[in-house]
Each structure stands twice: as C-alpha cells, then as structure tokens.
Structure 1
Amino acid sequence: MTHQSEAHLLVRVGELPAPAVWNCLGNQLDDESGIWLFDCAPHGQKVLLDRLLQTLLPSARPGVLALALEEPSIGITSVEMLRRLTPLESLHARVHHPWIARDLEHYVSSDIQPIVDLNQSGRIFAYEALCRVSLESGLRLGGGEAIAIARRAGRLIEFDLACQASALTVKHRLLPEGMPVFINAMPNSLMRSDFATHPSFKLMQDLEVLPHEVVIEVVESEQVDDPEALAAACDQLKGMGFRIALDDIGSGYSGLSLLAALRPDFVKIDRALVHGAHNSRMRIGVLEALISMAQRLGCVTIAEGLEDIEDVELCRDLGVGFAQGYFFAHPTPGLADASKFPVFSQTRNRQMRSLIRLGDFLSPGETLSMGASMADAHQLFLRDTALEYLIVLDQGRPLGYLTRKVLNAPGWGPLGRYIQGLEQVLSARVNVHSLLRRLYDVGGRAQPWVVVDDAGRYMGTLVLLGVLDHLLNVGLPPSVHPLSGLPTGPVLRSLIEQRIAGGETLQMVYLDLDHFKAFNDRYGFVRGDAMIKVLAEILRKGFDGLPEAELGHIGGDDFLLVAPAHTPGLQARIGWLIDRFHELAPHLYDESDLDLGYFSTQNGQYYPVATLSVVVVNGQTRPMTDSVMASTRAAQLKRAAKDRMGSVVVTEGDPLSLVERPRVLGQAAWRNALECALATFPEDGAADSIDAWFGRHTAFELVFRLDSEGVQQGANWLNPAMRGLIKRGGDGMNRADRAYFRELRRGQRSYLSSIYVSRATEDFCISLAMPSWHADGALAEVMVGDINLVSLVALAAMPAGVAKRPYARRGRKS
C-alpha cells in the first residue's frame, strides 16, 4: 500500500508547542504527549504534509514524528503504534519522492568524468564515478539533488551504498586494469562499518576489483562529528590497500583541521575556489596556502570544476597535480577520448610569472642627502648601532652609500670622499632569471641592493631573505616537496614506474616517523616541520653517494629510497641514519618530556620520544609490477613495524626480518666538536682572525658574547657567507631571559638549545652557549653561537675522531 492511499496522519510533537494553525487542520488526541491526528481527505496527503512542515520552525522539524494510517483505530496512541513513528521530514520526502523508499539499485547509475594529469599533457590518470538517479518519468537527477532527498528521507546510508555499488560495477565494466576509480563515501557510513563485512567490499571481491584501484572520496562538505573516529576508519582502509581523497576542500565544515587529521592521499579543491581564480589575487593566495599545506602533508592535489584555460594553467603553475572539469570532458556514461581534450600551453603562465615585483620586498632604509655633513652621518650611525650603511641620494636618486667606517673619520667636511659606489641597482620589475644570476654572481659580499622606479628615483633597499624565500618557492617544481626539496608526487611515481618497466629488480625503503601526528598536536607545526627537515637532511647524508639510488619524499613524515636490489651495505646505512636521528631528534622536545622519556597530548595519551619505522620491500622476494603494488606491500610490513616499541627495520623476505635499533645514550661527538670550536673563538676581536675562524668552522652562522648578567657585549660576529642576510646588531641587548642563558646559569655548564626557527635567517638552527668563569667561580661571560641545521647534520655524519681532531689544538681560558 502506498503512502498516497493512506488517509490519515498521526503526528507527535512531544514537548514542543504545536503551531496554533494545527487546530484548524486536525485534532489533538493527547495533551501530555502532544499527539495529533489529521485527516488527509480535504486536500490530499502531499498538501497536508507541505502545510504541516511550513508551519514548523526549521529548528523544530527534526523532533516531530509522524505515521501515515489508512484508518484510525483503537490503540492509536499505544506504545506499539508510537514505535512506528518516523520523522515528519522523512515521511514528507518519501511521499513526494516515492523512489527513495524502494529498491535503489533500479534507479541509481553512474556517469564518469576523467581526472587528468596536468604534468603529463592531459593524460587520463583516473575517473570519478558520479551518481545519477533515473526516474520512470524520464527525469534524471544529479548527485547533489538525490543526496538531499535521501538525507531528508532518512535513507542516506542506503543511497550511499547503492552509489558505491554502481561505481564499482562501472569500474569492473569500463575502466582498464590499473586505472583507479574515485568513489564518493559519506563520513558516517565509513565510521560505522566493519570493512571486512562491508557490502561494497564484498562486491569488490565478487567483481575482482582490487583495493589499490579504488580511491575513497570522503565528502568534506558533510559535517563530521567525530574526526578522530573518521581518521581511524581511514587508517584502517589504507591498511587494506585503499587510497583516500578528501573531497570539496574549501567548501565545508571542518576544512584544514580535517585535512590534518585524515592525511589523505589526495585533496580535491572545490570548484568555488578555482573557478575564475586567475582574476582574484585573494583566491590565488588561498590556493597557494592550501596547496603548500597539502604538499607538506604528502597529499596530491586535484582541482575540480575547471572550465577555463586560464584557471587550468594557473592551477598547474601553482603546483596542482591533477584536474577535472568541463574544460576536459563532461561526465558521461562512457570513457572519454583524451585525444579530443583541448591543448593547453606549457609555458604561458610561467612566462607571466617570470617577472618579480621587487616593491613587495623593500625596506625604506636610512638615507642621507648629498648635501648633508659628516656630522649628520655620524649621528645616524651612533643612534642605531645595527645600521650597516646609509644610502646617499642626489635629488631623490641613489648616488652611493656610506658604511660604519665613516665613524673613524673626522666629524666634519664633505661626504664625497667616503661614498662608495652602488654595484646593485635594480628596477622595480626585474626578470627572475636575471635576479637569480646577479644573486649568484655577487656571492657573500655585503652591500646594499637598491631598487629604483622607472624614473630612477630611490624606492628602498631589497630585503634579500624575503626575495630569496619567494624565488625558492616559485622556483620549485610542483613535484618537489617545499620543505625537504626532495622529489614527490608524479615525479616519484614516474621514476619508479620507469625503472620497473626497464626490468630493474629494486629495493624500496620506506621510512616514516612514529607518532608524528601526536608530536604535531603537542608541539605545533613549526617543530613538526623542523623534525621533517632533520630527517630529510639525515637521509641525504645517509644515502649520499649510493650508486643508482633515488631519494624521495612521499609526503608528510613518509620518505622513500629506491635502489637496486643488490645495493651493498644498505642495512648498515639504515642503521647509521637511525642512530643519527636518535641523536638529533631529542633537540626538538622540551627538557621536561626528555626527562620523562615520553610526552602527552591533550587527550591524555602518552607517546615515546621520536623513533623511526623502516620497511624494505624486496623485489628479489616477489616481483613488483608497479609503485602501487610496492606501497601495498610496504603497508603490510609497516603493521609489523608499528607493533614494536622503538625504532625498527622490517625487511621483506621468507622469513620476515625484524631488527630493533635501540637508542644509544651519551653525549654525541658532534656536540663535543661544536664546544671545542667555540672555545677557540678569537679573543682579540680582530676582523681577519674572526673571518679565518668562520672559515674553519663554517657550521656557525654567527657568534656573540654576553656578560655575567646576560647583556650582549658588542654586535654579532657574522660568518662572511651570512653578511647581507643577517643584521650585525645586538649590542646592548638583554638576553637574560633566553633559554640558553637561563639554563646555563642554572646548570653551571654549557647548554645546547632545542632546534628552532631563527628570527635572523628564518631557517632552522640550534644555539650553543658556553660559559667562562672567574677564579672565584663566578660567571665571567658567555659565548653563544648559532649553528644551522644542515651543518649540524653534516657534523653528526662525521666519525667521532674526525669531528674532534680539528678543534682540539687550541684551548680557551675558562
């Protein structure tokens, strides 16, 4: 019996007050429970349901229940009858759209739309299956409209499963072997499932569709009540071989927090962000930030809804890996013909982006008119001890510059004889390649870089760190990870596929950080980035010089080494890099956590200090047909590795090899080397002696001296390579509140800081503070040196004897 033949509605509003107009439409049967009976005869069931819903506030509708009856009967308000009540909104949807209450497989089908590789001239990488509903009337509903009906009818899970079944059938029937299909899944359907018994998983087995050929799209525009449960479900799916995509990023509820929690393989950027983005500086900025975060988390980006060539080229130049939209093909029931895709330029936007506006990277600087006196110059330099030079202007045009050496000259007379010529004068718009060439040619010589407008008038001096950071970011290819500088994404996949296709037998070494998400939650993304950088630099050193080996950054905390199966000494190198990581990683933790040996997060969970899981997929054990098979086998090995506490190396074989690598306690040789080096810093303060010292100890970026109260004595001494990049100021600064001074006084010994981002260089470094003592045991002074991260790893890579020997020749009175 259909709903249309049922002539009465039983409605329960519960404790809510019923709208006054209901007294004109029906009768209240029970004052306490708020039960009403309505006769559908006057206007029909559809009209009555419409009027009832219209009289209710939207916030009240979910709590109102209803039941369609053919005739009222005795016991209409009985418990058994009331149990049959369903939400009024669901009844309304089922009456207006009767197909939603029937067998959905007769109505649901799938169109498919290609997902195109932007880095390989439009090659089809995969297809997304998009649900459609075909009705007896000939009307065809799109996915969004059908989902809205299913949600109102209370059949969202059933509809979701029907769409998945249709998509899997299309994959089996149409798509070539190895080509992935992207399937949409509602978050709530994922969180409630035991996947081994999930209907879609059973259908996959029946159709012989493999997990690595299926990408499950989690719809970001759906509200997620429990992100942790969803993340756990996605982790389980990844362990089974599926890949995960986060759909509609930028359009919905959870946004970046859900992206960080799920760490999906793919991020699909919503059409609302990319359509017309080439005309919006604001949206370009949002896209750059989103793409950068996705790359840091190891996610491949896909732009949805592309229709214009300008947006296609913009997305490609910003680093988006894949795209879909009407520009390439509309969704259809059959496969797309890639030969008919429009041709898009590989160079147009890159040429547009080859000019850089230097006005965004200027400091006004200190200037002096040509008519000023030496006394004026003295006054400016004495007022600002950090000031390195004055730009001399002649009627607004830069003529030259003065350095602090003029303080040694008499404070009277003309400026002319002391003015130095400007070597670097740039127009406000300059070609990127030209600027890079000039930066390379000038090397480490400290001098001002002056920028002028089209009329030659002074605009300011260039902030080199800012422009270098910009050039590095726009200069990195889309398939190079912005943090590690290692290949990732399509380049890494292509490399593996080519070597396998060439008949090579490979070993694939997968390395990842244990409990990295918890570390990020506890310490934040800055220290998280530092840990990634530490591991990347260790891997570079550890695998340097390995013949025919390629190192890549899969993303997030996952790295990969591709090497021939016969590579000698590989296990020894892996052991070495784990030891170096054990030495350096603790400098990213708070001292209190190191004392405990673990840290805790806000949810009360406890995690050990950083360890590594390394798995080796061995092509000699079983052949590898592609990169997906290798990653699937690696995921199985990782489960064995994650079951152990501490760092572990699991190597594929028969039997499986599992080697634990314990942490070795004791002071590392590289720390001794740094302390010996700083102890030999020239006491005379002579420029030549200091430059020679920096030439021997290049790991140090700068050195400064503090008195016994923590006040800096004199300006920073700079490594010549850093001049122009770091200010030489600091004289008179009170640094008593800095951790290195505070902890040194408390512990009465040298102190090595945690790894941090230097405000001077905007790069990761570490500070070493060493005390000198008076004869009576009182603190005399403290020498502090900043060491950059890359040099720190290089020192850690040196054998203990080699690291110590150059620094043991001279002593420093202490």
Structure 2
Amino acid sequence: MNVESHLKCIIKDEQLSALFQPIYSTTFEKAYGFEALIRGPSDSPLHSPNALFDAALQYGLLSELELVCRKISIARFVELDLQGKLFLNVSPMVLLQSDHSQGVTISYLNEYNLSPDKVVIELSEKYPIDSPELLKNALIYYRNLGFSIAVDDLGAGYAGLKLWSEVTPDFVKIDRYFINQCHHDPVKREFIKSILNLGKNINANVIAEGIETHDEFDCLNELGLSLYQGYLFARPEPFPQQTLPSILEFKQRLVNVPVDIEPLASSLLQPANTINHDELTKDVVDYLHKHPHVHSIPVIRGRAPIGMALRGLLLELFSTPYGRALNEQKVISETMAKNPVIVEANTPLSEVARMVTSEHDEKIQWHFIITDRSNYVGIASVRDLLRQLTQQQIQHARYSNPLTMLPGNVPIYRHVDELLAAKVSFRFAYFDLNNFKPYNDIYGYAKGDQVIQLVSTILQHYCAKTDFVGHIGGDDFVVVFQDEQWRERCEAILREFDEKILEFYEPGHINAGGIETKSRTGQSQFFPLLGLAVGVVEPASTRCASHHDVAEVASAAKKQAKLTVKSSIFVCKRGGPNLDATISAIAV
C-alpha cells in the first residue's frame, strides 16, 4: 500500500490516538489546560506527527486529517474527564481552504457535550501563509463561535507579531528557541520581557513552552511568567495527570525518580475500532474481508473489554463445512477469543511480556488489550512489545558491566548529571577494595571475580530503591545515595563484607591476618586481608557542574579511605573540586 492510500485508510478508519501535555499554572498550582497531540498508528511510517501532516499536505488531505484529529482529541478529552481548557492545534492553511467544512468542530463539541469556551484554537506557524487578511477573518469567525485563540511558536515564523497585533489572541506561546538556556542568554531574556509586557497591554496570556530544566523555569519565574509547558513538568501522555503538585512538591518528587524508568504498556498504545458484544458474527467477518490489514478487533460490553475477534479464528471457523451456516447468526461474544491478554496502561513492559507469554501456550496473538481502570482504551502489538524489550536489553547490555550486570560508566554519569541539573541532594559513594591485586596474585582471577560479585551483591542488598548502584570497572563501585540513611547503609555494607570475605581465604591466611607475596617492587611483603574502602561526598550543585567534578572529589575521598588498613568510610565535607576542605574519617 502506497503512502497516499495508507493515509486515506488512517483517516477513514480514524487510526489515530491523542496524547495530552499539560499547561501548568504556578498561580493555581495545577494544570490550566491540556494540549492535544496526535500520533498515527505505532507500526506505521506515518506514526510521527511531522510525517503524518506533511503527507496530508502533499496529497491534499490536510483538511480531512485535521477534522478527524479534532474529533478524536475532543472525544478523548471528554472521556478522560480532563479539567481546564483543551488546546487544539490548527494549521492556518486549513482555515484558508475554500472547501474546509465549517461547523464541524461545533458539531463535535455538541456530540460530546463540551462547551466552546473550554476550547482554544491553537494556530501553528509550521506552514507559512500568504493571506494574512483571510487568516484574520477565519480566526475572528472562530472567536465569534466562543472559542479562544492562541498563537503557537511565536518567533518561529514571520507572521506572528503582525497576526498578534491584528487578532489580539487570548494566548501566545513563546517558542522553545527563546526558552532554551534563557538563564545564560541576556538577549533571550529581554525578548521574553518584551513579549510579557505586550501581553499585559492587550490582556493576552503568555505561555512558555519547551521548558526542560529547573534553571530555565527559575529564570522565567523571576521574569513573571505563570503558564508553562514542557518536559520538566510532564511529557505528552495518553493518560495525563489530572492535577499537578506545587513546584516544591514537584522538585521533591524528582528526588525519588530513577533515571531509567521502565516503559509502561501505555507507550505501545494504538487506536483500534471496537465491536459490541452483541454484533453478529457474519457482520464481523464481512468487515474483516473488507479490511485485510485488520487482525484483531476488541470486543467490549459497555466500556469493558471482554474478548477479541481474531481474523484467523473466525475465517477458519467459516471455512469448515457448514461453518458459516452454523455461526453467522451467533453474536460475536460466542465466537470470539474469550481470554485475550488485558493489561492496565501503567503495567511495566516486563510484566506485560510475562503475561503475554504465560497466558497463551499454543500461539501468541497479534495484539493485546490496554485498559485504564478496567475501561478499554486501545490495543498494542506484540511485535512492538518484543521490539521495545529487545531495544531495552541491547541498551542495558551496552552500558552494563559484563561481570556484575550493574550499570557502567555511561548510565552512572548520566544519573549524576541529571541529579545535579535538578538540584537534588545526594551522596556519591566510591567503593574500592584494599589489597585486591595481591589477593588476585595468590588466589587467581576466578576467585577475584567471585569477590567482586560478592561486593555487588552486598551493595544491592543494603541500598534503598531510590539509590543507584553502579560498577565502574575492576574492583571500583559507585553508589549514589538519595536515602537519608546512607551512613547506616555504608556501615552495614562494610560489616557484611568483613564477615563474608573470610569465606574466600584459606584458614592459614585467616589466622595470619593476611597473605605474603611480592610487592610491585619485587620484594616480599605482607598484605592484610581484603578491606572495603569508601569515600563519600555530598556534591553542591553550585560547585559541581557535572559528573567530572563529582568524580574528582570522590576519588580524593576514596584515596583517603584507602589509607586505613581495615574497611573504612571517609566522608569529605567539601561540595566541589579544588576548594579547601574540612573532612572527617570514620573507621568501621
């Protein structure tokens, strides 16, 4: 199927899904509204919005596509019972088309019982326009119907300010370009100030979009903005949070969020037509014949899924002698697959994989059903599930230590940098074995690997879920503590190590308190039993710009800890590199 035919099929069958990204109000400390963002089928080359709308423009289907997008967005907004305003993206090119249907959006609102004053028509400058006067008239038409007007990506296109002055929109969005690193750029800050002043003069609300860091937010907050949208607060989601916590609560929530959050079932969501449980089987089979690309159709009773109409199962049933005559008048609930996999949208993919493989012994189905609080929301492809799990495994293997399978340097550095950027308090603990090389020389590398695995096991056992355990390489480990009981945990780790390490020595060496072997200079030397040294530092975000600075301080602390023969903790009180330090050591 070529791109044009595929696009027509997507529009006809409404194979689109709506995601929502909140617009956050610091004045009311909640979501002021939600921008609807459309995605195509997940297994389609038209999944991304850019590919989808560029294809619609190329084949003259932009108006048809946008109307379907509005319908789906409105229906889903009402279904989720989202509060605040619904921001609908509208291309100015559609408004200027002579064949663009008028009154359709109002009919959708009436169908789903949503008032026009709850909807904001968000005008994007993605496609340049040549008729500003016609566009102005089109926007005035929408305003007279009760809609609010927003100008999107202000500064990204050439017509923004002129259109603003003539239409006086209710909302103006400042483009991500001006938001990015605005705390470092005085020119961007001056631009933002001028937009704010203009907005106040014409009573327009100014929204900053594309905020990704706390530094950007702090800068914009100081300038006086109160409406924000961006990854810092929330990404586009099929099930957005109804309410948002205060900024302080939000920052605290970041403390307990791990770097690599396992994707959920909702990440695989794709739209699909459903059939009611009382539909006749013959009608379902006729539909399957007309739509050869459809393999699975969820069967619902009310809003609850109860089964799946499967192409292979039904066509096989009708191919048997008297199969059609015996089954065509039966309702689909009698001939459907009665035990499909049904998962909640917030189920981790690893759990979804377990359910898919355990529930079907004979043959894995093409799709499984996704619900939200037991209500049907869509289906997902098993192929997409396997693809994403494979990508996760490749990513994990690429950056994990092969001996312990703990995260290696790259994820450790990324985790530290994200905590610094979020201004989250944490302790960075650098663990290293004392006298490990002499032990390897006497007992061999296989025994040495067992000792390294012992350290890995003990660290993971005593660390909290909010802590991050990594393996730099060799006998060097890192724990990023966010738990306040970090000191107690370190002490427990050392005690456990000192107890368990005796199992890795011969009795004679235990009685002697160590081993005798040649030093690096070739001289015979006595080396005490293995000990575990840990250097701990609490980095200050104002003095550590990146993981490089944290590593410098932690390495110095670890060296101090290794000066003690026994297992010990060395706590460095300085928060950054190259500064005078007041430090304390605790031997355990």
TM-score, length-scaled by structure 1: 0.29
Greater C-alpha Rg: 1
